[in-house]
Chains A and B, each alone.
Chain A
């Protein structure tokens, strides 16, 4: 009898709790947290071929502005873009890069021929986004460098705070 009384009391309290969880309004806390974001994408690939020269001079250099980059940056800390190459080019062969300075300041033409350690190409990047921003490559070689067979190099771009 005592057990039945306790069970009945528990059941009654449970029903009361269930009923009181429902009302004509209900609240929920929703938190949106936006952390620092730095994101870059690049188009490509690009091909650079030296195949002409003026007699008595080094081969004619070539340039390409066919590729571009996109960037999104929301950190209050200024960001930067740095570029590196997967393996150095031989002596006498030079690859340089210039990136349009959306949101920041361009470092100008940067030699990445042997930049296995990244070099800064855009600094002081602020809040916002940039799309279809031009990447310009300048490729040159000396006569002394000789012939350099077609070789694929990987240029890596990193955006950091």
Chain B
């Protein structure tokens, strides 16, 4: 009995010593809960991105479903509304411009217009090599809009094929 009590007391003493030593060697923050701080710098740069789908379309006169050919009329037209333009911008004011490659002797002309974009003012553009405003005064936003192309050919110009590379650019002002 005396031996058992001594054993228990010894174990308790051993625990207390161990606990005391542990507390003595722990970092002050663990024991005393002192607060610390540092600076974090956050930045949001101007972001303007754009994409177009599909990558290629064909306008066909007179086989296209929207082709208009009238006997006695020189001008023939065809339209396409399968293109989707997608954008994202956080700039206070943004515009999208449009341009096309130079064709040495174009037979036909090409017009484009954005159909009711959710922000900004659309412009009907006859494509040329220089950048032209396509959608202006856009607010910070993201979205998509359908683009209607109109191909215009004159019967007096004959038959043939014109291929344009159309470039859409988004510019945060």
The reply to whether A30 and B72 form a contact with Cβ atoms under 8 Å apart is no
Residues from chain A with Cβ under 8 Å of B50 in the complex: 22-26
Given contacts A25-B168, A27-B167, A30-B59, contact A74 B158 (CB under 8 A): yes
The residue in B54, B72, B86, B110 that gathers the most chain A C-beta atoms within 10 A of its C-beta is B72
The reply to whether B69 and A37 form a contact with Cβ atoms under 8 Å apart is yes
The reply to whether B156 and A129 form a contact with Cβ atoms under 8 Å apart is yes
The reply to whether A129 and B58 form a contact with Cβ atoms under 8 Å apart is no
Bitwise interface map of A from 17 to 38 toward B, beta carbon under 8 Å scored 1, else 0: 0000111111111111111110
The reply to whether A28 and B72 form a contact with Cβ atoms under 8 Å apart is no
The reply to whether A76 and B158 form a contact with Cβ atoms under 8 Å apart is yes
CB-based nearest A residue for B150: A32
The residue in A25, A27, A29, A30 that gathers the most chain B C-beta atoms within 10 A of its C-beta is A30
Query: For residues 87 through 115 of chain B, which have their beta carbon under 8 Å from a beta carbon of chain A?
Result: 88, 100, 107-108, 110
Given contacts A26-B168, A73-B155, A127-B156, contact A40 B61 (CB under 8 A): no
The residue in B71, B73, B108, B166 that gathers the most chain A C-beta atoms within 10 A of its C-beta is B71
CB-based nearest B residue for A159: B71
Given contacts A33-B58, A34-B161, contact A25 B72 (CB under 8 A): no
Number of CB contacts from chain A to chain B under 8 A: 158
The reply to whether A35 and B60 form a contact with Cβ atoms under 8 Å apart is yes
- Specify the main secondary structure of chain B where it touches its partner: strand
How far apart are the CA atoms of A115 and B155 in the complex, in Å? 31
Residues from chain A with Cβ under 8 Å of B107 in the complex: 34
Q: Is B51 among interface residues, defined by CB-CB distance under 8 A?
A: yes
Residues from chain B with Cβ under 8 Å of A23 in the complex: 49-51
Contact of B58 among A31, A72, A127 (CB under 8 A): A31
How many Å from the CB of A161 to the closest CB on chain B? Answer: 10
How many Å from the CB of A31 to the closest CB on chain B? Answer: 5
CB-based nearest B residue for A130: B72
Q: Is A87 among interface residues, defined by CB-CB distance under 8 A?
A: no
How far apart are the CA atoms of A34 and B162 in the complex, in Å? 9
Given contacts A35-B61, A40-B71, contact A29 B159 (CB under 8 A): no
CB-based nearest A residue for B54: A28
How far apart are the CA atoms of A130 and B73 in the complex, in Å? 7
How far apart are the CA atoms of A96 and B20 in the complex, in Å? 128
Q: Is A70 among interface residues, defined by CB-CB distance under 8 A?
A: yes
Query: For residues 26 through 79 of chain B, which have their beta carbon under 8 Å from a beta carbon of chain A?
Result: 48-52, 54-63, 69-74, 76, 78
Residues of B within 8 A of A (CB): 48-52, 54-63, 69-74, 76, 78, 83, 85-86, 88, 100, 107-108, 110, 149, 151, 153-171
